Structure 1
């Protein structure tokens, strides 16, 4: 019999009976749980859960919502139900450096990332050819101090019109406005070429070189109005030597940036990341 996979994310204040109330209702519609992950944040007393489950043919999104109405209302749960048969749509934003974008496109092509690229957006023309070769719509949205508001309005229109679920800043070297950051909160992932919270802002490898660090890294995080302060999703470091120049650090960092961003995007698309204030809960 054909089965249909859904993912349920929920959070609420921790109380006895939470898990039982949800799983009992799912069992009543003959759902079969394939994955279950839970976390209790003792500081905030918040409970987080991710459930992946299959349902028989004929049980749709609305039927699941109806089945969960009782525990959702009883415990004041905030829930997101994802139908995995719909491929998530992603907008990739890039400036001149294309290594992180190319890695994302490759991982999508080979199936490790299950997503469809709705558009590639850039403030430069440099990556138009790549978009054309991949058969992806390319949008050149140049930006300066005079047109920033109009440029971001065009981006919001594109997000809406394309049905994009996620915007990925794959070394897009422009700062999003507070208005745009707030509007798309939780739906924009940035790769910062540093192990945050160290070396925020511009030229982090040069900052790291000046401090003589022995480790460099990269951080994928959700974008907020505060520069490089958003909730962290994924990080990685690599040991380096005092003998390396800033250019050597940049070269070493490209691979780290590409890997970290791809992993963060995968975690997000698989609904394994849940926001928890200024932090994230990440279910591996």
Structure 2
């Protein structure tokens, strides 16, 4: 049984002893079978995601939700419950700042998704007209300096029953309080070939380092900045006399392309995270459907020899 067929329970709050035992004991007492548990602690914030089988539980959905909410109040943690029937129509929230190219590409392709872009959230209001043009609610959660209100952001993600968060050039760092609630369900686009040039001003970093080839990376977000599992990448040549702005102009279409590919992979359930890296699922992942890196036709341009160890020095193949 895959995770989409199971009830998902997420617990987030300050780390304390006994959290896991209290939650799992409550579930056991109500006849609920635990299929998978994932937990972590970062910067004092505890997160646990539990996937459980609730079809034969001894209580109603309403009672389970109330009991878990009461337990959360007692333990001073936030507990969210999502039943399979509530997860059929998946909802995507797109977070933006001022750049429109990635958002535009997602909006142009949204009819292809097995999901709905339910809300666009910005830390500035620059892209509200684009959201309005496409009939999608827009919410500005930033102050005058663009610093976002995380409590308001979390409330909106909850209100729109968000399954996937897409950072379409959202130029702010999300805290563990947000990341932990949606771990494995936040995709970011970064303008470099990670792990090279993480952080801000990646195109400038590539230019100043004298890179001959630059690129972009779509990856899952973790609490380690720009170090989450890589999903897709694109590359381009850096002209000898190219300015930072020229690198940006070459990179932006590839940012939109790589981000869209990553969103497709996730929504089609064709990618999964194993041991900190992504892999195509054996059940449905067909690499020929996707461009994860360079276009296949470039393989023909790659040299195939020499290869270390095929012939020893001075020997022949006679």
Please tell me the TM-score bracket, short chain as reference.
Answer: 0.5 to 0.7
CA contact (8 A) 2:187 2:219 kept: yes
Matches within 5 A, 1:166-181: 166-181=164-179
Paired residue for 1:213, among 211, 214, 218? 211
Paired residue for 2:97, among 95, 98, 108? 95
Q: Counterpart of 1:224 in 2: which secondary structure?
A: coil
**Alignment correspondent of 1:185:** 183
**Alignment correspondent of 1:125:** 125
The alpha-carbon distance between structure 1 residues 133 and 97, as it changes in their structure 2 partners (threshold 3 A), is same
**Structure 1: 4+ residue segments shifted above 3 A:** 7-10, 143-148
Q: What's the RMSD between the two structures over aligned residues? A: 2.6
Q: Distance in 1 between matches of 2:84 and 2:218?
A: 23
Q: Does 1:196 align with 2:198?
A: no
Residue 183 of structure 1 deviates from its aligned partner by 2.1
The count of corresponding residues between Structure 1 and Structure 2 is: 206
Residue 275 of structure 1 deviates from its aligned partner by 1.3
Q: Higher strand proportion, which one?
A: 1
Residue 9 of structure 1 deviates from its aligned partner by 6.7
CA offsets, 1:142-182, max 9 Å, x none? Answer: 0589975xx11211111212111101000000000122212
Q: Does 1:237 align with 2:239?
A: no
**Alignment correspondent of 2:276:** 278
Length-normalised TM-score, structure 1: 0.67
CA contact (8 A) 1:98 1:127 kept: yes
CA offsets, 1:48-103, max 9 Å, x none? Answer: xxxxxxxxxxxxx969xxxxxxxxxxxxxxxxx989x9442100000011100100
CA contact (8 A) 1:205 1:250 kept: yes
Residue 215 of structure 1 deviates from its aligned partner by 1.1
**Alignment correspondent of 2:44:** none
Q: Distance in 1 between matches of 2:134 and 2:112?
A: 17
Q: Distance in 2 between matches of 1:103 and 1:90?
A: 14
The alpha-carbon distance between structure 1 residues 112 and 82, as it changes in their structure 2 partners (threshold 3 A), is farther
CA contact (8 A) 2:212 2:239 kept: yes
Q: Counterpart of 1:93 in 2: which secondary structure?
A: strand
Residue 264 of structure 1 deviates from its aligned partner by 0.1
Q: Distance in 1 between matches of 2:145 and 2:223?
A: 17
Q: Counterpart of 1:132 in 2: which secondary structure?
A: helix
**Alignment correspondent of 1:113:** 113
Q: Counterpart of 2:112 in 1: which secondary structure?
A: coil
Q: Which has the higher contact order (CA 8 A, sep 6+)?
A: 1
Q: Distance in 2 between matches of 1:129 and 1:208?
A: 33
CA contact (8 A) 1:95 1:124 kept: yes
CA contact (8 A) 2:123 2:146 kept: no
CA offsets, 1:209-240, max 9 Å, x none? Answer: 01111111111111111100111111111222
| Structure 1, unpaired ranges of 5+ | 1-6, 11-60, 64-80
| Structure 2, unpaired ranges of 5+ | 5-53, 57-82, 287-318
Task: State the structure with more CA Rg.
Answer: 2
CA contact (8 A) 1:8 1:82 kept: no
CA contact (8 A) 2:217 2:234 kept: yes
CA contact (8 A) 1:9 1:271 kept: no
Q: Distance in 1 between matches of 2:208 and 2:173?
A: 24
CA offsets, 1:177-217, max 9 Å, x none? Answer: 12221222111110001110000000100010011111111
The alpha-carbon distance between structure 1 residues 241 and 183, as it changes in their structure 2 partners (threshold 3 A), is same
CA contact (8 A) 2:207 2:244 kept: yes
